[in-house]
Structure 1
Amino acid sequence: VSVNKTTGDFSGWAWGGDVVGWIHFADALYKVRTCFDFNRAPTITITKDPNSAKSFCGVDPNNKDEGLVGFEWKYDDADNDSQAQYQIQIATDSSFVNKVVDCTIPQVVSSGGTGTASATVAPSPSTNCSSAHLEIPYGGEGNWYYWRVKVQDARGKWSGASGQPGVQFDTPTHAKPWPDFLCNGVDCSTIKPFLGQTIQFTDASQLFGGASFSSWAWTFENGDPANSAIQNPPSVKFSIAGSGSKNGIGLTVTDNKPYSCSVSKSIKFYTSSPKWRGVHP
């Protein structure tokens, strides 16, 4: 005898020797349906490759040596139960023997919705499952991490894991550069230059993992010069301004790995007003 978990209908044959002998369920004369509810396991489908959801430039100004990897899956439940929590594992082997993350984290997602998680990539990682803060160390290109996830519905039923051997991804060997610069020795947002003035730009970038600088690439909108490859351009003149009276400044820094990251800022320029002074007739 079997039960259709969608309709609750019994089917097949059963023997009742004391009274009726063989009974055929689900025919026209003898149909039996359960009065209790079945809870079917939810299912998940990975919807984003973490290699397309990695970021290692300008992630967190408070932790400039950190990167981020994102994870995403589609949650489905045939009983329309919501996702209640997920268990995520990240390992350095496809058998998940050497796990660097193994956390169960509450997260409510409606059936048909998208579940998400993220892991910070840090020089000295420290995962805290209770606050849903996942961290993994920098591993280097070609040194693969593997991840998998399973979910639990609101009535306690777990799905299977998201697949073997798990979706793989890698990270840089160390943090990428954090490019930054000053204008006339101060924060660029604090200066109020007039058109025709020159500005000195000073590199304030940071490198990590023992890296050294390899190159700088500056661009100056409406500037003279329009670009530069030296670390600290001493004198750039702006005679006209772009949209909103602003000119954009860009800097790309490359270390000796080589890893590169870019930053852009805009400077508002003012038109100097004529100065009047009184004279005797």
Structure 2
Amino acid sequence: MKKIKYLLIFLIIFGFLGMSQIVFDFYKSSLVIAGAVPNVAGWAWSGNIGWISFRGINYGVHICTGDADTLCGHLPIPRRGRLVGYAWSSNIGWIHFDPAGPFPTGVGTTATSSRVDLATGNVSGWARAERAITPEGQTLGGWDGWISMRGRETGTNTEYGVWLETVPAPAPNEFRGWAWGDDVVGWISFNDKESLPAGPIDHQVTTTFRLNQPPTAINLSKDPHNPIEYCGRTGYPPVRVRWEFSDPDIGPPKDFQSAFRVQIATNTAFSPFVVDTGKTAGGSPNLLVVPPPLERRLAFNTLYYWRVKVWDNHGLASEWVTGPSFSTVAHPFPDQDPPGATPPNPRNFIWSPDPPAVGEVVQFTDRSVCFAAGSATTTCSSWRWDFDFAIPHDGIWDRTNVQHATHVFTGHVKHTVKLQVEDHSGFVCSITRELTPTLPLPIWREVPPFMWLPLEIPFMAIIIETFKEIFPFRKGDIISNFLVMGSGSVGLNPH
């Protein structure tokens, strides 16, 4: 009988240990992926439950590095900054860092699983201390409760929390601060650098995960003078500055620019500034400096300094980055009618007659205005006319060095006329207009009226008499009034 009793006890103990091992394997499998190593390590300390291990054989805690992180494939996108996996306590068992909700509520807490704010490094959300349970959901004992990573103490309203301290690479970043696990777990210290409550010396939880690092702007430059942007603008030079967005957080997904701010001044202190865009939403890596507002209006023949600040898609800003200084052009480009201008610029070229006819000499008159230093108006230096312009241009001009040109169109089709003007500084602008010549005018030749027919043409008299026989004309009809008059003439009036 005793042998049977001991055998039963042995089987119960063996079964319990075996089930514990099954459960252990069940939970630890959440981070067992070939070639993947969790990026969190080290030890935390609780005055109530002692040491908490964040990495061991076939288990660990991990911060998701991006949407393609193989250890985070079970999470919804976006994944970067989420904590997953398990830590281990010999007293309360597994502590799960991406448990399922619903989550507790509390002052200053966040109703999510644990995660790191990529901009500030603050850790928020919840972990869960859960004694290993069987796949059937049977609890094997121990405390099963929530651990808050950030919140406010009841009564004092004092803020507590865990955060990630950024340490220059390649050293791992260190977690700092405290989490709260109610009366069972109490305060959990993530780093012995913290003061109260006291814990063992030399314990830290670290990670190789890099927080959202600030972006920067590189390859700053100013575009050359572009006639497309400069022609037709006489009150200011339309300067375009450029940069490239650069971010060490290469993902995936890779961080991208969400906003920028550009300042332009006539001094390196940027005080006062001529242009300040403020924080402007957008991913464009360039800015065309044109009004409005009026404070963006730059002046001709002036030396300027400029700088840019960029923001990544997590809201983290770069430092100011200064670009190369630049000088604006001495004076405006030639002034013509910009495409689509309303109302049309009176300096556009015109022609006469309007509309012209095929084969008719057409006079074209240029009304462009060129400028000299100080923006004073002056004559242009050269003109080029193309009366049948097409894209791409063949490089052949119909008239050159003629300000006012003439031309004869030979076809009743639409023609595109292009005028290119150049000033004494070599600034070139051009404009095109379309016209369709009308059909040629008819040629008039004077002939004798039909009502005068000489008697010497007997066949005409025969024709007239035949008409009289066929068609009875009444007095007053138009044809009855047609008379062939003169000596010996035949009249059409039967009366």
**TM-score, normalisation: structure 2:** 0.40
For residue 317 of structure 2, the aligned residue among 158, 161, 182 is: 158
Partner of 1:230: 402
The yes-or-no answer on 1:175 pairing with 2:332 is: yes
User: Does the CA contact (< 8 Å) of 2:231 and 2:335 recur in 1?
Assistant: no
The yes-or-no answer on 1:86 pairing with 2:252 is: no
Q: Which amino acid in 2 is paired with 1:151?
A: V
Alignment of 1:37-76 (within 5 A): 38-46=211-219, 49-52=221-224, 54-56=225-227, 59=230, 64-76=234-246
The yes-or-no answer on 1:198 pairing with 2:361 is: yes
Distance 2:257 2:229 in 1: 32
User: Does the CA contact (< 8 Å) of 1:56 and 1:175 recur in 2?
Assistant: no
**Superposed displacement of residue 257, structure 1:** 4.7
User: Does the CA contact (< 8 Å) of 1:247 and 1:267 recur in 2?
Assistant: yes
Distance 2:437 2:315 in 1: 61
Partner of 1:265: 433
Q: Which has the higher strand share?
A: 1
The yes-or-no answer on 1:138 pairing with 2:312 is: no
Partner of 2:345: none
Q: Which amino acid in 1 is paired with 2:431?
A: V
Partner of 1:147: 306
User: Does the CA contact (< 8 Å) of 1:58 and 1:178 recur in 2?
Assistant: no
**Superposed displacement of residue 33, structure 1:** 5.5
**Superposed displacement of residue 68, structure 1:** 1.5
More contact order relative to length (CA 8 Å, sep ≥ 6): 1
**Superposed displacement of residue 59, structure 1:** 4.8
Aligned residues: percent identity? 22
Distance 2:409 2:242 in 1: 46
For residue 106 of structure 1, the aligned residue among 280, 283, 289 is: 280
Distance 2:418 2:278 in 1: 42
The yes-or-no answer on 1:221 pairing with 2:356 is: no
Distance 1:220 1:33 in 2: 70
Q: Which amino acid in 2 is paired with 1:144?
A: L
Change (3 A) 1:21 1:50: closer
**Superposed displacement of residue 184, structure 1:** 1.1
Partner of 2:287: 117
The unaligned stretches of length 5 or more in structure 2 are: 1-163, 176-190, 337-347, 390-396, 451-459, 461-495
User: Does the CA contact (< 8 Å) of 2:369 and 2:379 recur in 1?
Assistant: no
**TM-score, normalisation: structure 1:** 0.64
Q: Which has the higher helix share?
A: 2
User: Does the CA contact (< 8 Å) of 1:46 and 1:162 recur in 2?
Assistant: no
